[in-house]
Amino acid sequence: MTKQFGYGLLGLKKFKALSSVSFKLYSEPARIFVVIGETGSGKSTLLKLILRMLIPDGGTIVYRGRDVFRLNREGVRWYRREVQAVFQDPYESFNPIRRIDTYLYDSAKFLLNIKSREEASPIIDEVLRFVGLDLERVRGKSIKEFSGGELQRISIARAILSRPRLLLADEPVSMLDASLRVSVLNTFREIRDKLRSTIIYVTHDLATAYYIGDEIAVMYRGVLVERGPMSDVYSEPLHPYTKMLLNSILEPDIEIRKKIKPVKLSSIEIGEFLTPGCKFASRCPYAMPKCGSKEPPHVAVDERTVMCWLYVR
């Protein structure tokens, strides 16, 4: 799948925010699939495509045998029940002048076709209890009466109302106090273990990724450079970018750590997005002449896939 955006003064020049990203997920066993990448690497774009909030310029998404961009009205409702999301900023998910329980009742109506409050209340109470709250505490209140952590729990409760098979999480703990993060992360684990949902969890944080992920996909400038079981990737990263990313925190010697070039976290280098070759070539210590001009293929190495010329035999 590919997604382009305009850039420059008028937005007429195009770059691929997501370039030929391709992967398959299986629903059994339920797993947490982490997508890690710096800010601007294309993570949110990927989730927005899966949610049908954006349309790809190339490729498509097939969910349980159906092309998600060719669904009819009933298909869209089905897809909404099956695939739900939790976003980064809980304050953006709710309108401050609306009572928060109305969001839950609306979702029950739209997703589960439950129109009566009496019928919806026990179901809403159940999902709120799942995330450590209950309807009594939430009923009739506005967002001002909750902390960021509680609001994020309510967003999660709303997202699991329809028992989605696939839950997307876009940096859901990055705006929470460090002290609250682990318990919210544990809630995602419980969703995997008890509701058996598959979770795509997006983050830029290595520690979070390691804590929560069963599998990991590493994004760099709009491409997936490495993907595989979490423990394999962390213990022996294959792609030079993954190596650099992990070395930057795992190198015990602080003097060496200081010498490792810090990864740019905020500004995007359009040039790297635009290169016809490997996006990492200008920073890669192993770069070969062809790396700058030819895009490396996705190479299978054991249970992993690596997008790098070093592994082509």
Closest CA to 91 of 34, 172, 10, 28: 172
Residues composing the chain: 313
Judged by beta carbon, residue 51 or residue 274, the one nearer ligand SF4 is 274
43 is a contact residue toward ligand ADP (CB under 6 A) = yes
Considering only residues 133, 191, 296, 304, which one is a binding residue for ligand SF4 as defined by CB under 6 A? Answer: 296
Rounded Cα gap, residues 175 and 181, in angstroms: 9
Extract the tokens encoding 313.
């035999």
Rounded Cα gap, residues 190 and 134, in angstroms: 17
Considering only residues 19, 41, 198, 305, which one is a binding residue for ligand ADP as defined by CB under 6 A? Answer: 41
Instruction: Indicate which of ligand ADP, Mg ion, ligand SF4, none lies near residue 37 (CB less than 5 to 8 Å, by partner kind).
Output: ligand ADP
Rounded Cα gap, residues 225 and 307, in angstroms: 5
Q: Which of residues 19-38 bind ligand ADP (CB under 6 A)?
A: 37
44 is a contact residue toward Mg ion (CB under 5 A) = yes
Select from 37-45, 89-97, 239-247, 251-259 the region that touches Mg ion (CB under 5 A): 37-45
Judged by beta carbon, residue 96 or residue 285, the one nearer ligand SF4 is 285
CB of 137 to ligand ADP, least distance (A): 32
What are the residues whose beta carbons fall under 8 Å from the beta carbon of 225, sequence distance 6 or more?
218, 219, 239, 241, 242, 279, 280, 306, 307, 308
Query: What are the angstrom distances between the C-alpha of 311 and each of 66, 219, 226, 298?
Result: 34, 18, 12, 9
Judged by beta carbon, residue 246 or residue 308, the one nearer ligand SF4 is 308
Considering only residues 62, 286, 293, 297, which one is a binding residue for ligand SF4 as defined by CB under 6 A? Answer: 286
Residues engaged in binding ligand SF4 (CB under 6 A)? 240, 278, 280-281, 284, 286-288, 291, 296, 308-310
